[in-house]
Structure 1
């Protein structure tokens, strides 16, 4: 059974299977996704028999790194960092409904680096700088700090030489990356995008697998290496020793963005347009019509158990992140009046605040 989520007849409406809200409720989770094409960060929240799709405006949001305490959002020329302030959540209407509230704390100006995947490490936020073909961290003095790039890319230059895009962390350190080509010229990956994709080991510089179709979103989960072979619209595993790929399931869209919870994978699907970037890949040849949405797949069986499909305005998904033990979060963008009247202070300062004014949260 499919249920609608009309959003007051706005063009960003969606429909979903009737069991999707119950999955979120039973697992006590919500899901954050980004769509750079529509300029939105979207939160999927269980709301009775429906999923509430909560939209916030950002400038070309792509990579997202999220957990209970904070969210980083990579945008057109900056990275926003938001922190969860539970005391503010308790003040948001309807009272008692929200169990988290992420408020902007910092914005780091990176310049236009075509930022892709991001992940919190042990001490740093790591992100894929696609324009400069490298992995980076932040320092307040600089736009970005290059920390690693593929050995076949011989210069640090804004030429998108291999379309480095995906990042998998192991033990809070970068371990695996994906790129659309083993190329060293400006936009060189475009010439063989249908089968030129690679998976690479960051530590050893070894190219584990070649011949992939527009790979994205490598992940290490449940002692297995997962990957989205986007050009085929599939979820697959890769043997990190032999490089052998095994397809788990094929889905009706360009697979990009994934997170796991228990035995479930939450996967982003994009329609992808008939442009030079996406022409000639297996997916567009296999399917005349592709779907945009979030698909829930049982990783033990490869079967789809639920989905949410976007219609009209939302056509492409980039990042997908599960928020564990948070059912109904709020995310505040810069236009919210709440920012002007919410203050976060250290413990020692709270001692001087009158008790009747304590609607703020300790650091």
Structure 2
């Protein structure tokens, strides 16, 4: 399913409002498409993406959408694709992997399809469905490729870090020392994954508990950051940590419960706040000196309430906030004003200005990808 928002009106020169220009299909579980797709952004948000010749991808399991934020003129085009509970993502220039309700879907960039999508062509990347691996419903959280091209992902239900093979639902590769065995019980709410030097290196969890759902008892400040190299717990007492990242030779994470961007000393575990955002922070990527951070609302029915940010999030904002990592100041933001209330993952598509994601049969049935050696024998 496709929903597309293209911008058309400005609001006092500081925020730009997106209204519907094209709705190819309506998404049944959600409200009126005008509500679903509504967003506003600061006037400089498109300029930042233009400067870095990039776009953004967001996943929101709450709304069942993968969202592409693409520059369209002087505003942002928000392009929506429907999936069943999309969460973790791994993206590079040629590949996109998405963890959904009970599968991992993989897409490959086939830019030669671009002329079939618009006239004149304007897409510079077209991610076409290539395979789906059925994992079962395991609550897939963050994902990343290692330096050898193997996909790693956080299996939150079984409290472990996994890869894939051809015959298994998933292949457990690591679990915290405090988790005694594999069980579908979400014992510590393992969630975040950071790569360093092409290898999985840091993970976050919401507790060091070894009972079914045990992390919930101290979710306010029971979070951990763990170094996989030696299994050492680098930090304790974190308020719902998510999205650990190694960027520019430094270690970062989000304390979602406080809406804080935090820098951590990878040797001592000491930490300091770099900046704050006005909501539940989850999902982060960096480009240059900027951190792009996903922001989620907190509702009374949300299981992640009763945390410090709850009292501070009176406006209940969701969207993308951009912070400068040296000053901690907000540089730009995009707010969803409709039914998109929670963001899970956020990834920057570097060097990709206007991407598309396709899994419709009309494209799959006659779009072929062949090895280079075979292409030499294809009649042109």
Band the TM-score falls in, shorter-chain normalisation: over 0.9
Deviation track 1:311-343 (CA, whole Å, cap 9, x = no partner) reads 1210000111111111011111x3352222312
**Cα deviation, residue 346, structure 1:** 2.7
Structure 1 match to 2:187: 161
Q: Distance in 2 between matches of 1:297 and 1:279?
A: 24
Structure 1 match to 2:216: 190
SS for the counterpart of 2:315 is coil
Structure 2 match to 1:96: 121
* Stretches of structure 1 lacking an aligned partner (at least 5 in a row): 356-363
Q: Distance in 2 between matches of 1:218 and 1:289?
A: 26
The aligned length equals: 354
SS for the counterpart of 1:306 is strand
Q: Distance in 1 between matches of 2:275 and 2:140?
A: 28
SS for the counterpart of 1:341 is coil
Choose which of 198, 208, 220 in structure 1 pairs with 2:246.
Answer: 220
Structure 2 match to 1:5: 18
Q: Distance in 1 between matches of 2:235 and 2:373?
A: 54
SS for the counterpart of 1:219 is strand
Structure 2 match to 1:75: 100
Change (3 A) 1:348 1:220: closer
Q: Distance in 2 between matches of 1:179 and 1:293?
A: 23
**Cα deviation, residue 351, structure 1:** 4.7
Choose which of 187, 190, 202 in structure 2 pairs with 1:176.
Answer: 202
CA contact (8 A) 2:142 2:193 kept: yes
TM-score by length of 2: 0.91
RMSD between aligned residues: 1.3
CA contact (8 A) 1:90 1:99 kept: no
- The answer on 1:331 being equivalent to 2:357 is yes
- The answer on 1:206 being equivalent to 2:226 is no
Choose which of 346, 356, 361 in structure 1 pairs with 2:371.
Answer: 346
* Stretches of structure 2 lacking an aligned partner (at least 5 in a row): 1-13, 22-32
Structure 2 match to 1:130: 156
TM-score by length of 1: 0.95
